[in-house]
Amino acid sequence: MTVTVHFSAPPADWPEYGPHLRAALREAGIDAVLSSGPADPSLVDYIVYAPNDALTDFTPFTRCKAVLSLWAGVERIAPNRTLTQPLCRMVDPGMTESMVEYVVGHVLRHHLGMDEHILHQDGVWRHEVKPPLARERPVAMLGLGELGRACADALRSLRFPVMGWSRSQKRIEGIDCHSGAAGLETVLKQARIAVLLMPLTDETRGLLNAERLALMPEGAVIVNPGRGPLIDDDALLAALDAGRIGHATLDVFKIEPLPPDHPFWAHPRVTVTPHIAADTKAVTATRVIAENIRRGEAGELFLHLVDRARGY
């Protein structure tokens, strides 16, 4: 049987994704008609969807069996009431690898105090400033899902003491796992570096507020490749100005692109990266999409289903 797969993402993405999607569907043994651009919604079986696409009304897609997101974060689409079909988010091995590299890179930068030497090649022999060993610098991973878990494992393999925090209590070898409000307090009080890898939901919005930032050790560092609104920007700026928080490396923001006049750009204790921590990789992601379409056609459970009530 032939299925119709509609690629609903900004047109500029199609030349990259089209050939990979075609190949992945073929590999999965799926006979598919692919469309991008205008399509007859009543003929579409699966929508491959990027949440920055113009499509927001799913009502006309009466035959659609699932919407397969190209993004890991689904906060823009999960609340959409016109979407009544199953929604799957992206869990892409290529994206995970990329996030591990970003997080390990930025954690090591701060741990080793690299800026001190990279930015000050001025003839001064700064021999007195030496980093401790990784084993002496506790790192908090807020979010222990697909990405947080992989980053926690990588940091642990470098011997950082890693504490994790998640909604449900986890047991992970080598990671000191916590949950709940008291667990967050315990983790933040010890974290010299905190990495945020949580989804944006009603519960996580504004999670790192003034009160919680004040729990962190003096000079602690924040790395946020999760979502901008997880942090209260004003509270963060105040903590950075006061030197309570030593540095923030931020990849995600309330408004993206971050406006040129936003105080983060000029702040000496902030590093802005332009939402580049972990892009979806077409070659690996399209295999995940194809596997989900295979499952849909075989009557099997979809992978990476979003719990719409929970928001992720």
Ligand X SMILES: NC(=O)c1ccc[n+]([C@@H]2O[C@H](COP(=O)([O-])OP(=O)(O)OC[C@H]3O[C@@H](n4cnc5c(N)ncnc54)[C@H](OP(=O)(O)O)[C@@H]3O)[C@@H](O)[C@H]2O)c1
Q: Which residues bind ligand X (CB under 6 A)?
A: 72-73, 91, 95, 143-148, 166-168, 197-201, 203-204, 225-227, 251-252, 275, 277-278, 312
- Give the distance from CA 260 to its chain's centroid: 23
- 35 or 80: CB nearest ligand X: 80
Set 156, 227, 247, 287: catalytic member: 227
Residue 61 neighbours by CB distance under 10 Å: 25
Strands, sheet with 245-250, edge to edge from the N-terminal-most edge strand: 175-179, 162-166, 139-142, 193-196, 220-224, 245-250, 270-272
* Residue the block writes with tokens 């949950």: 179
Residue 38, sorted as left (phi over 0), alpha (psi -120 to 50) or beta, turns out to be beta
Number of residues assigned to the chain? 312
Q: What are residue 249's phi and psi, to 5 degrees? A: -105, 115
- 48 or 144: CB nearest ligand X: 144
Question: Could you tell me the smallest distance in angstroms from the CB atom of residue 48 to ligand X?
Answer: 17
Q: Which residue is nearest to ligand X (CB)?
A: 145
**Residue 26 designated active-site:** no
**C-alpha dist (Å) from residue 163 to 66, 176, 290:** 36, 4, 35
**Residue 167 designated active-site:** no
- 35 or 284: CB nearest ligand X: 284
- 18 or 229: CB nearest ligand X: 229
From 212, 122, 106, select the one nearest 154 (Cα to Cα): 106
| Paired sense of beta strands 270-272 and 31-36, if any | unpaired
* Residue the block writes with tokens 């919407």: 67
Question: Could you tell me the smallest distance in angstroms from the CB atom of residue 184 to ligand X?
Answer: 8
Set 262, 267, 269, 275: catalytic member: 275
- 19 or 206: CB nearest ligand X: 206
As annotated, the active-site residues are 227, 275
